[in-house]
Structure 1
Amino acid sequence: MKFRYFAFLFATFLLLKVTAQSNSKEVLFSVDGEPVYTSEFLRVYNKNLDLVQDESQKDVDEYLKLFTNYKLKLKEAKALGLNEKPSYLRELSNYKKQLANSFMKDTKVTDALVEEAYERISYDVNASHILIKLSEDASPEDTLAAYNQIMKLRERAKNEGFEKVRDEVHNGQTIYGEKLGYFSGFKMVYKFENVAFKTKVGEISQPFRTRFGYHILNVLDKRKSRGERTVAHIMLLNNKSDSLAEKPEVRIQELYKKLNQGEDFESLAKQFSEDRNSAPRGGMLSPFSGGQISVQEFEDVAFGLENIGDISKPFKTNYGWHIIKLYDKKPIPEFKDIKPELVEKVKRDDRSKLIDEALVNKLKKYYNIDDKQLALGYFESILNDDYFNNTWQLPNDFTSEKPLIKIGNKQLSYRDFGDYLLKTQRNPIPKGSYQSIISNKYQLFLNDYLIAYHEDNLEDENEDFAHIVAEYRDGLLLFELMESTIWNAAKTDSIGIQEYYNNHKSNYVLPKRIEAVVASSAKQKTLKKVTKLLEQNMALDQIKKLVNGNDKIDVVFTQGILEENHQSIPKEFEFKKGLSKIYHHNNSYVLIQVKDIFPESQKTFEEAKGSIISDYQTFKEENWLKQLSEKYPVVINQEVLKNVKSQIKNQ
């Protein structure tokens, strides 16, 4: 919960890119005598400029007000000692560790892998494979046997046909033969993906090993990925609470018939779609690619539409019933647009091992570490076969204090590596020469200490990292303060909340509503016929049969309790019982039969409780800020502020 609220409230302080606009140490303002510099304000202002939704916050004076309030809260948080809470320190430490991962990678290697990944996701490969299952720690004998077996299967596949051999040898236990279908980048382990994309269509790969065992694969086809779709939809929700309302599966079929009769998709979406976000735009959704839509049925139907303007048949998802119209289809996005997403995928993938290797090599150079370590001979001399049984101990005359290697300002001794050998002997390893064991262990030991030292000193060695940590440190502290001072307090202050409601009842009212039947048609003449039938008090089901016969839908009826701003009600509609005149609305015509009118009414405390608590929190925070500004006087350097405004204006 903490991360969710924190991300919502302070997203503008948590971007991973910092653009410092000034190195000036001019004091822009002070909080109780503590200076805040121009450089910090300009950095944060410019960084967040494009993220601000409220145009007023782009005004320097308004943004400065927000920024001074932010600093006032931080001052109070520190005065209360919230920055010393164990939970705060623990969460900050976890975040620093996560963030450090983004800064401790070799960017050249990462960029190369990201470019390769983009090429891979731009294509789909269709392949089959045969796997000889083999554990990662298999003995040399078992490894050789598996390799020889896969080589024989490759020869058979070349002579007899891959599919034939694959089907014959598959037993689902030690040998697997599978049709994999089409896949693109990131769908398989990296070693497998590499071979699949480098093998030509129609060819059988050389044997290769992954963590699962030895494989050969046959590439059947390669094709361009299907890219991106832009669609609009009409959606009717499943969870109808109004018992008078028509079933969505019936309504969606009516709308589909109207579309087949040539009626405008956008107009129908505006009138009847219950997706409140897209309905005002005629049902239009933002473009999406494969995997971006959480509802698989929706994605499958969208990508199944081939031609611009195609309309799907009605179909059901967990959210309701839909009809989709295809407006645009595009190939894979441009590299620059998808690069950030690919960077994150590469870091989570097997590819990250290559990045880790590059990082270690870079750190060795940065800290001037020599790969040659003369001390390893000493450790080889004290090792014995007890190491393979987890019973090995350092000798009594072990030279523990002797210097081993220095990383930056940290001196490591023989004791450090000796302890590492003791600790890691618990990890089972096959028997080998003492020289190879010590060499491998030393590389792992050195890698661990290099990365740990670099991470511990990252704030001193990387300015961007230091800025982000500082902003998160303050933002997290502010969360702790707001939670304890405003949010939790406001929720539990039942007397204050009730009093606030009593003083602001006019803010919590139910709007005017009607119980009505709304008839909508593209033809005014048809609605005149409906008017006459309703005047005769004919049942609605009977009217539908008369005006929508022979599989043709001329009129769509909406009935139930409707608010005055309902999408089917024209703005100029006169609220009175009985039949209305025919209105032209949303490129169609509507007729409304009002059965009852419910005037605007006061919401009870329970009905409005959620909104009341939210408003009360805002009210409480505003008063609290006034108290803080009195407790910690804010003094703004007007001359410096004038220069800041000038600098921003000229950017």
Structure 2
Amino acid sequence: MKKIVLLLVLGVSISAFSQKKDKTLVTIDGEKTTVSEFKRVYEKNLDAIDNKEAKSVSKNLDLYINYKLKVKEAYSIHLDTLPSYKREMETYKNQLSAPYLQDTTFIDQLVKDAYFRTKNQVKAKHILLRLPREASPKDTLMLYNKILELRERILKGEKFEAIAAQYSEDKSAQDDPKTGRKGNGGNLGYFAAFNMVYPFEVAAYNTKVGEISMPFRTQFGYHIMQVDDLKESKGEIEAAHILIRDTTAVGKLKIDSIYTKLKNKEKFEDLAMQYSEDPGSKKNGGKLGKFGTGRMVKPFDDAVFALENINDFSKPFKTRFGWHIAKLLKKHPIQSFDEMKKELKEKVKKSSRMQLSEKAVVNKLKKEYTITEFEEAKKILNKKNLTALPIDSLQSTILRINDKNITQEAFIKYIRNRRHLAVFKLFEMFEEEEILTYYKENLIYTEPEYAYTLKEYEDGLLLFELMQEKIWTKSSSDTIGLQKFFDTHTTNYKTTDLKSIKGQVINDYQNFLEENWIADLRKKSKIKVSKKELKKLINFYKNK
């Protein structure tokens, strides 16, 4: 019987979206099902039906009526109030509504941008002034003005690298007197799409070569950036390396001796397995897999991407990890947009830039909705220890979206586990989340397909709970009833040993219980089928 349940789950529909002129096919206790609703159910199930008899319109209408009666029974005994049911529905709603919270036009543009930034790599240097996540507007403005002053000094002739070494809070830009390591002056080398946090990537590709950007903000703080070059990417490569960690003269002698062996035609893979001190790659001959520019430290990138031919190997070179020799194994040039579109779309969807798509939806909704902030109620934002305020003092409306009032209490609940951010920022986030919540709550009125699908799942889940309670659990636990059924129907089986065919008997017993149950449900309900509309339907599908 579970198969029938699952088949019918695919077909339940909602009268709210029926056409006004649509004729009524069946009425169950006053609830009408239109012809188009049943057609939607029937046609959706046709592909799953493999014989002519099962495709009978009349038989499918009977099954549909049985289905509606079961769902009605599930609601009448309040299965929709079960905590497990509510949790399952909330999870499904979030999954089902997710595509509606994305701006497809915006995503398409993100994919096109990602392709350009994959095909072309940018070389840049930056200065970072870190900003705490909970910084106040006053502190934020002070830091912005400070980095703006640094920009002005560079524009007036001071060297970017010198300012970076002195002021940047990216440690790689600074000299390290303890180790003697020379800072990079903010130089990041070449990078491409998905190598940096998204706001940094945007700034890099929007700044012209030779120019210095205006200050921009990322999760780390404020930056300014100078773009040094933009060129076509070499794509990705596969490479191997041999690493000697000792950076002293002893390590140099060792790497030089390995280099001599390579020039004398000894195998790179064998030497890597014998001498390399990179435990992650030495076992497989030094292989590092596939990577693009920006994935490795700059000296390594420079050395390996300078190799022209497959199987070429570099001279020994030094990084902060030690001495290396690198070998080029394979090249992966950038493919066409059509070839990369699917892969890039997946990358975009998994990246932080997808938040911008959701932001685009919020911005559209802000223009469509009437949104009111209540300044008097917002004064609680200035109070200390907000979460300690008594609930009965938080019942004023702080935000209204169309006709929905949202209280101060809802805001306090929202910020309870987000206290690391400034309260004004939390209110912005709260408002955007409430806008999206309102949008999701109203999807059943604005998106018919969403409403149909949600109702299908909702009723199907209820029906599963109902069948579990009324039929499946009872048939397997009611040993006396099962034995009685078997004794009464012994002539239907080839044996008198219940244990040997228990599975088959349980299935038959389930059918028996369900048939009796359905008969009782039909007796309790008033069912009226329009013979005229049913005949029209039968003729319609007969001639199709």
Q: TM-score, normalised by structure 2?
A: 0.52
Q: Does 1:632 align with 2:521?
A: yes
SS in 1 for 2:370: coil
**Cα distance between partner residues in 2 of 1:154 and 1:482:** 76
Q: Is 1:390 the counterpart of 2:348 in the alignment?
A: no
1:116-171 per-position Cα deviation (integer Å, ceiling 9, x unaligned)? 244356564466776758455265566777788899899459xxxxxxx9998698
Q: 1:628 to 1:499 in 2, by over 3 A?
A: closer
1-side partners of 2:493 and 2:230: how far apart? 70
1:116 alignment counterpart? 109
Q: Which residue of 2 aligns with 1:37?
A: 34
Question: How many Å separate the matches in 1 of 2:505 and 2:93?
Answer: 35
Distance 1:402 1:70, change over 3 A: closer
Alpha-carbon offset, residue 40 of structure 1 = 2.0
Name the aligned partner's letter for residue 475 of structure 1. G
In the superposition, relative to structure 1, how do residues 400 and 363 fare at CA in structure 2: closer, same or farther (>3 Å)? same
Cα 1:379–1:21 shift into 2, 3 Å: closer
Give 1:41 shift. 1.4
1:369 Cα deviation after fit = 3.8
The residue correspondences of 1:418-497 to structure 2 (distance < 5 A) are 420=411, 427=419, 443-444=428-429, 446-489=431-474
The answer as to whether partners of 2:198 and 2:353 remain within 8 angstroms in 1 is: yes
Tell me the SS of whatever aligns to 1:632: helix
Quickly say closer, same or farther: Cα 1:485–1:361, change in 2 above 3 A.
same
* Distance across 2 between alignment mates of 1:423 and 1:429: 12
Q: Could you tell me how far 1:115 is from its partner in structure 2?
A: 1.4
Aligned 8 A contact 2:371 2:402 in 1: no
C-alpha contact (below 8 Å) 1:225/1:331 kept by paired residues:
no
The Cα shift of 1:474 comes to 0.6
Answer yes or no: is 1:88 the counterpart of 2:88.
Answer: no
Letter in 2 for 1:37: T
Whether 1:26 and 2:20 are equivalent positions in the alignment is no
Offset of residue 480 of structure 1: 0.8
Contact 1:27 1:637 in 2 (8 A): yes
Partner of residue 199 from structure 2, selected from 168, 172, 191: 191
- Distance (Å, rounded) in 2 between the aligned partners of 1:468 and 1:390: 44
* Residue number in structure 2 paired with 1:368: 370
Distance 1:170 1:45 in 2: 74
The whole-number CA distance in structure 2 between the counterparts of 1:134 and 1:112 is 34
Q: Relative contact order (alpha carbons < 8 A, sep ≥ 6): 1 or 2 greater?
A: 2
C-alpha displacement of 1:627: 1.8
> SS of the counterpart of 1:88?
helix
Asked whether the equivalents of residues 360 and 450 of structure 1 are also in contact (C-alpha less than 8 Å), the reply is yes
**What is the total number of aligned residue pairs between the two structures?**
403
- Residues 14 and 629 of structure 1, relative CA distance in 2, 3 Å threshold: closer
Counterpart secondary structure, 2:64: helix
Return the alpha-carbon distance in structure 1 between the equivalents of residues 443 and 106 of structure 2.
24
CA deviations 1:360-387 (Å, max 9, x no partner) are 44444444346xx7x648967x986xx4
Percent same amino acid among aligned pairs?
A: 25
- The secondary structure found in structure 1 opposite 2:25 is strand
Output one character per residue of 1:170-192: Cα deviation in whole Å (capped at 9) or x when no partner: 989x98987888767xx864335
Q: Pairwise mapping of residues 234-313 of structure 1 onto structure 2 (< 5 A)?
A: none
Letter in structure 2 aligned against 1:40: E
Query: What SS is found at the alignment partner of 2:37?
Result: helix
**Equivalence for 1:257:** none
Letter in 2 for 1:70: Y
- Does the Cα contact within 8 Å between 2:28 and 2:528 map onto a contact in 1? yes
| SS in structure 1 of the partner of residue 462 of structure 2 | helix
Question: Deviation at 1:95?
Answer: 3.3
Equivalent residues in 2 for 1:95-114 (5 A)? Answer: 95-103=92-100, 105=101, 110-114=103-107
* d(CA) in 2 for partners of 1:63, 1:215: 68
What is the match of residue 408 of structure 1? 402
Shift of 1:210: 2.8
The change in CA–CA distance for 1:94 and 1:419 in structure 2 (over 3 A counts) is closer
Whether 1:622 aligns to 2:511 is yes
Instruction: Find the residue that maps to 1:641 and give its secondary structure.
Output: helix
Contact 2:26–2:34 (CA<8 Å) still a contact in 1? Answer: yes
Contact 1:130 1:178 in 2 (8 A): yes
SS at match of 1:29: strand
Q: Aligned with 1:480: secondary structure? A: helix
Letter in 1 for 2:356: L
Taking structure 1 as reference, are residues 349 and 650 closer, same or farther at Cα in structure 2, changes over 3 Å only? Answer: farther
**Offset at 1:59?**
5.9
Q: Is the 8 A contact 1:127 1:220 kept in 2?
A: yes
TM-score (norm 1): 0.45
In 1, Cα distance between equivalents of 2:98 and 2:445? 16
* Structure 1 contact 128–180 (Cα < 8 Å) conserved: yes
Deviations 1:486-543 (A, max 9, x none): 444555567959979x99999xxxxxxxxxxxxxxxxxxxxxxxxxxxxxxxxxxxxx
Consecutive unaligned residues of structure 1, counting only runs of 5 or more, are 158-164, 227-298, 301-329, 431-436, 507-603
| 1:18–1:47 contact (8 Å) kept in structure 2 | no
Q: CA deviation at 1:620?
A: 4.2
Counterpart for residue 352 of structure 2: 350
Segments of 5+ residues of structure 2 without an aligned counterpart are 163-169, 238-288, 291-334
Identify if the C-alpha distance between structure 1 residues 166 and 454 changes in structure 2 by more than 3 Å, giving closer, same or farther: closer
Aligned to 2:48: 52
Q: CA deviation at 1:477?
A: 0.2
Post-superposition shift, 1:97? Answer: 4.8
3-state SS in 2 of match to 1:71: helix
Instruction: Find the residue that maps to 2:537 and give its secondary structure.
Output: helix
CA–CA separation in structure 1 for the residues paired with 2:356 and 2:465: 39
Cα distance per residue 1:290-309 (max 9 Å; x no partner): xxxxxxxxx99xxxxxxxxx
Change (3 A) 1:446 1:637: same
Q: Contact 1:209–1:215 (CA<8 Å) still a contact in 2?
A: no
* Cα separation, partners in 2 of 1:25 and 1:379, compared to 1, 3 Å: closer
Deviations 1:591-650 (A, max 9, x none): xxxxxxxxxxxxx96xxx9xx75x666544433342233223366433212323455678
Structure ranking higher in helix proportion: 2
In structure 1, the residue corresponding to 2:33 is in which secondary structure?
strand
Determine if the alignment matches structure 1 residue 211 to structure 2 residue 211. Answer: no
Alpha-carbon distance, 1:475 to partner? 1.0
Distance in structure 1 (CA, Å) of the matches to 2:387 and 2:25: 64
Q: 1:205 to 1:638 in 2, by over 3 A?
A: farther
DSSP 3-state at the match of 2:26: strand
Partners of 1:499 and 1:333 lie apart in 2 by 63
Q: Is this contact kept in 2: 1:393–1:422, CA < 8 A?
A: no
Cα distance in 1 for residues equivalent to 2:528 and 2:12: 29
1:121-140 paired onto structure 2 within 5 Å: 124-125=118-119, 134=130, 137=133, 140=140
- 1:74, distance to aligned residue in structure 2 (A): 1.9
Task: Kindly indicate whether the alpha-carbon contact (under 8 Å) linking 1:82 and 1:480 is maintained by their aligned counterparts in 2.
Answer: yes
* Alpha carbons 1:128, 1:178 under 8 Å: kept: yes
Amino acid paired to 1:52: A
Please give the secondary structure, in 1, of the residue aligned with 2:74. Answer: helix
Q: Shift in Å at residue 478 of structure 1? A: 1.1
